[in-house]
Amino acid sequence: MSHVSFDTLPDDARLWCFGASRCPDAAQTAHLLDSMQSFIDSWTAHRRDLHAGFAWTLQRFLLVAVDESRAGASGCSLDALMEQLRTLGAELDLDLIDSMPVWYRDASGSLRMCSRAEFGALGRGGEVTERTRVFDLTLTRLGDVRAGSLEVEAGESWHGSLLTGD
C-alpha cells in the first residue's frame, strides 16, 4: 500500500494541485474521497509503490503529493493520475483537470472561479485588485502549501500579471 497521511509527507514532496469546476455535494465528495483513497492505495511507478497522499480542501481543491525520496512519479504514473481524475470527473460531472481558470475570493470572501480573461476584466473594473485573495495551483512542493502559498494576494503571485495585462 502506498497511501500515507498527507500530513506526514515531507515539505519537499512533489505536489499537484487541482481545482474543481464546482463544489460537489456531500455524496459526491464522499465518492471523490473514496475513489482517490483507492487510487492512491494502488498508485505505482515502474511497479514501485508511491509514498503518496492527498487532501481535499475548501470543497474545491484536490492536492496530491508524492515523497520522491522513496520513488518518484513517472510519466506513466502521472498519466494514470490524470486518467483517474478524468474518470472521476465524468462520474461526478465535475472538471478537475482544467488548469486555465483563476480561483479567487470575492469581496464577501466567497470562493469564485473565472477565466483568466474575465479575471483581468474584473481587475480593470476594480472588482478585483492586487489585494484580492487568489489560489495558486501552480505550486509544486508541499512545503509551499504549508507555508501558506496556496492562497495569497494576487499581487504576490502570477495572477498579478492578469491585472496589469503583462
* pLDDT tens per residue, range 18-35: 999 999 999 999 999 999
pLDDT at 49: 79
- 29 and 63 inside one domain: yes
* CA 139/CA 17 separation, integer angstroms: 7
pLDDT averaged over every residue in the chain = 92
pLDDT in tens, 125-154: 999 999 999 999 999 999 999 999 999 999
Same domain, 74 and 133: no
Q: Residue 157 is part of which domain span? A: 102-164
DSSP reduced 3-state for 93: coil
Same domain for 128 and 87, yes or no, is: no
**71 and 129 share a domain?**
no
* pTM (2 d.p.): 0.93
Listed residues 32, 64, 92: the one ending a domain? 92
pLDDT tens digits for range 75-129 = 788 899 999 999 999 999 999 998 889 999 999 999 999 999 999 999 999 999 9
**pLDDT for residue 160:** 93
Q: What is the pLDDT at residue 1? A: 45
Output b/e per residue, 29-59; b: 16+ Cβ within 10 A.
Answer: eeebeebbeebbeebbbeeeebbbbbbbeee
Residue where a domain stops, chosen among 92, 115, 148: 92
Predicted confidence at residue 65, as pLDDT, reads 95
Query: 82 and 110: one domain?
Result: no
Q: How many domains does the chain have?
A: 2
Is there a single domain that holds both residue 107 and residue 86?
no
Is the residue at 1 inside a domain? no
Q: Are residues 39 and 69 in the same domain?
A: yes
pLDDT band at 2, cuts 50/70/90? Answer: low
